[in-house]
Chains A and B, each alone.
Chain A
Amino acid sequence: MSALYAYTMNTTLGEKIRELRDKKDMSLRDFAKKLGDVSAAHISDIELGRRYPSDSLLVKIASLLDVSVEELKKFDCRAPVDEIKRLVQSDPAFGFAFRTLVDKKITPEDIIKLGENKPDRGKR
């Protein structure tokens, strides 16, 4: 397992945002003020992993922290539950495949390794 992979897997989006904010020596309240229409309480919840930012807020956060949205999204470890549901409903083979993942106790590392060798969906 690469060090970068381990870091990404062990760091939440909130922790990453806090780390980048710390590097810029911005307090949480300063950060919220600079983001505009968002409360310090909301940012605190995001950093503590109690909620996730909307796409539009994530764009603002990324811009203020001088990173790309894609870079931040690497730390969003939520499972895309809705998309998985849609896939299973549209093709039963996906259901079988997911069941196999669970039964065979396939590790997240194996799945990511498999994914890295495939082109992004939608770009085929």
Chain B
Amino acid sequence: MRSYRSNAGPFNERPYYTADEIERICVDSLRVVGLYPDSPESIRIDRFIEKRFKVVPEYEDLGPGVLGMAKFGNNGVQGIVVAKSLDDENSKTNERRIRSTLAHEGGHGLLHAHLFAFAADRLLFGENTPSGPVVLCRDISGSAKSSKYSGQWWELQANMAIGSLLMPRALVLKAISKYLVPSGQLGLNVMSQEKRGDAVNELADLFDVNPIVASIRIGEMFPENRSGQMSL
């Protein structure tokens, strides 16, 4: 991880993580609390939040469009809150959305807690710095397409953590090996366009995530526009 000085946004420091670094941080964190499974299966993300950050997930009315938030203090994560509306409607889609939200907030906890360590000495949010814990929120606009960058690098990084926490790369590769074909002289694995839909559905069921989340993860690992370039 590298850090840059930042004049824009709420922080005066901007950490830069590669995708591999985020993957390693997330997988190591899952392992430390004994929640990295041996084979592809649903990650117990709610238990991870409790064990890793020692907080009980809270459910509150967060206002329209806000799915979750992480509260930070000088000692790291102070609380993780999920929109109560997601829990009220008992559906598979919402249950999975809660899982994604917990993973997103967990991502903030893993990747950004250090930014708040000296919050008392810094004016994180300009004149609007709250006196209590500082929060980072996940809203609907940032949840659909995680790869879209809108200047909020902390949200982009937390979205990348969703994939790594809910669908660790090594487990995904095990799960979808039958959909991969070696291509080019180097024999690099690629996923053909026609098999993507099946792979997405299988991953979504196996890891208990919504298909859009599985689709984004497969897109990150096997970019669609690259499959043709692998033929050397």
Contact = CB atoms under 8 A, between A and B. Distances in A.
A28 B87 contact: no
Contacts, number: 35
Interface stretch (B51-59, B122-130, B135-143, B189-197): B51-59
Given A27-B50, A28-B50, A40 B44 contact: no
B121 interface: no
Interface of B: 44, 46-47, 50, 56-59, 84, 87-88, 98
A44 B58 contact: yes
Given A41-B84, A41-B87, A48 B56 contact: yes
A29 interface: yes
Interface in A47-73: 47-48
A39 interface: yes
Given A27-B44, A39-B87, A39-B88, A44 B50 contact: no
Contact of B58 (A27, A29, A30, A48): A48
Contacts of A45: 59
A25 B47 contact: yes
Contacts of A44: 56-59
Contacts of A41: 59, 84, 87-88
Contacts of A39: 59, 87-88
Contacts of B87: 39-41
